[in-house]
Amino acid sequence: MAQKQIVILGASYGGLSTAHYLLKHVIPKLPEKEYLVTIISSSNQVLCRPACPRAMISDDMLPQNNSLFVDVAGCLKQYGSDSVRFINGTAEQLDHVNRTVTIRTGENIDKIEFHALVIATGASTTSYLFGLNKDSDTLRASWAAFREALPIAKTIVIAGGGPTGVETAGELGEFLNGKPGWFGNNQTKVQITVIASGSQILPLLRSSIAEKAEVFLSRVGVKVIKNTKVMSVEPHDAGVESLSTKATLTLSNGETLEADLYIPAIGTKPNTQFVSSTLLVPDGRIETNPTFRVEKAGPRIYALGDAASCARPAIHNILSSIPLLCVNIKRDLLLDLGQYYKCPGLPKSVTKFLNRERYNWQRYGVRRRHSRNAASTDREKQGCRSSNGLSGS
């Protein structure tokens, strides 16, 4: 029997975690075991992304060993080549109608058919310093260029008052200006400025925490400018592709700043350029319902993480989503085999009803197509959905 292919695009937190869960907890429990999990990623290594603000400064700050960069293939070797394979390539086009993905591997372009598809391609950062926008070699080269320019920099400007910008400022302040003394601030050797668009840094946290963070930053020579945005940068590629170029910044308050190093830490862009615009929401993420299904794309197509619209992008949200996503994948694979998923706590008649109505799932379960099914639908909601509104029994 030919293997049915479950394709996972992306090999970071979402993609790898989904592969592990499917291979350990889903596929072994299916009546048919003829499934091949194929993971596709433009990088052959996975990175601990939150470590970038420290790791990019110096190896002395955070050694670049196996705990920072990990080979994707090595994470999967426990399962065997008959169960899973890794392709180091880039997704160029998703044909959700014919259920194929076009992949570029070097100079070669291939089309891969899928039985089920999970899109976990994440998002790219504005600066190449903070993630695997391309691959691990590109990231290391970006860090090398930044480190070469760092010793001669006298002014550094960081755009963005979120966690990445604040942590980067703190790490640079301590590295360049030294730790603050017991009885006062150290002499500032390098002027570091954080530009925050809001009334406080760290806008998702309490104001008292933001104020305390601002005090700590001031002790290592960091100045914070709030309620201000960077309107233009000259040259335009400074801090993005040209990491060591001096920049002139025009601010929304009319001021102009000169920076020996400019670091934009102002958000991310979803890696969904290969997906049809009909499947995207205005901010570029893939439109998904709370069950992680991409309903407009057809059956057994899912998205999670920074590329999906169903949750706020965050690592802890991604990891907590994995069991729920994989249970829904299991349910859909069973339905494809002509079986139904037994929801704990529901009568057999209700689960049979869900099987018959499997294509009518919406945000809150099956449609209330007839009033006589309302009670069953209410019980289904209670039994098949988690407390945060995601389907995952």
Burial 18-28 (b: 16+ CB within 10 A, else e): bbbbbbeebbe
| Helix (H) or strand (E) segment spanning residue 292 | none
Averaged pLDDT, groups of 10, the chain, 393 residues long: 92 97 96 94 93 92 80 95 96 98 96 98 95 92 95 97 97 93 75 97 96 96 97 95 93 97 95 98 96 97 96 86 95 89 62 55 38 39 38 37
Q: What single-letter DSSP state applies at residue 390?
A: -
Q: What 3-state DSSP class applies to 216?
A: helix
Q: Are strands 4-9 and 116-119 parallel, antiparallel or unpaired?
A: parallel
Q: What single-letter DSSP state applies at residue 298?
A: -
Instruction: Please count the other Cβ atoms lying within 10 Å of the Cβ belonging to residue 392.
Output: 20
Which domains does the chain show, CATH number per domain? 4-126+268-336 (3.50.50.60), 136-264 (3.50.50.60), 348-384 (no CATH)
Quote the CA–CA distance of 133 and 268 in Å, as a whole number.
Answer: 10
**Which residues neighbour 36 within 8 Å (Cβ) at sequence distance 6 or greater?**
3, 4, 5, 6, 82, 83, 84, 85
Q: Give me the pLDDT at residue 339, please.
A: 81
- R_g of the chain computed on alpha carbons: 24
Q: Which of 317, 310, 265, 315 is nearest to 285 (CA)?
A: 310
Q: Which of 343, 327, 324 is nearest to 381 (CA)?
A: 343
Q: Give me the pLDDT at residue 61, please.
A: 84
Q: Which of 167, 173, 122, 198 is nearest to 265 (CA)?
A: 167
Q: Residue 161 in contact with residue 201, Cβ under 8 Å?
A: yes
**Phi, psi (deg, nearest 5) at residue 319:** -65, -35
pTM of the model: 0.85
Q: Residue 154 in contact with residue 191, Cβ under 8 Å?
A: yes
Rounding to the nearest 10 degrees, give the CA dihedral for residues 364, 368, 371, 372: -80
Q: Are strands 35-41 and 84-88 parallel, antiparallel or unpaired?
A: parallel
Using a 10 angstrom Cβ sphere, with 0-12 exposed, 13-18 middle and 19 or more buried, the burial of residue 118 is buried
Within 217-255, strands assigned E span: 222-225, 230-234, 247-251
Q: What is the DSSP string of 301-343?
A: EEE-GGGBSSS---HHHHHHHHHHHHHHHHHHHHHHTT-----
Q: What is the DSSP string of 5-42?
A: EEEEE--SHHHHHHHHHIIIIIGGGSS---EEEEEEES
Q: Tokens 């969904």 label which residue?
A: 272
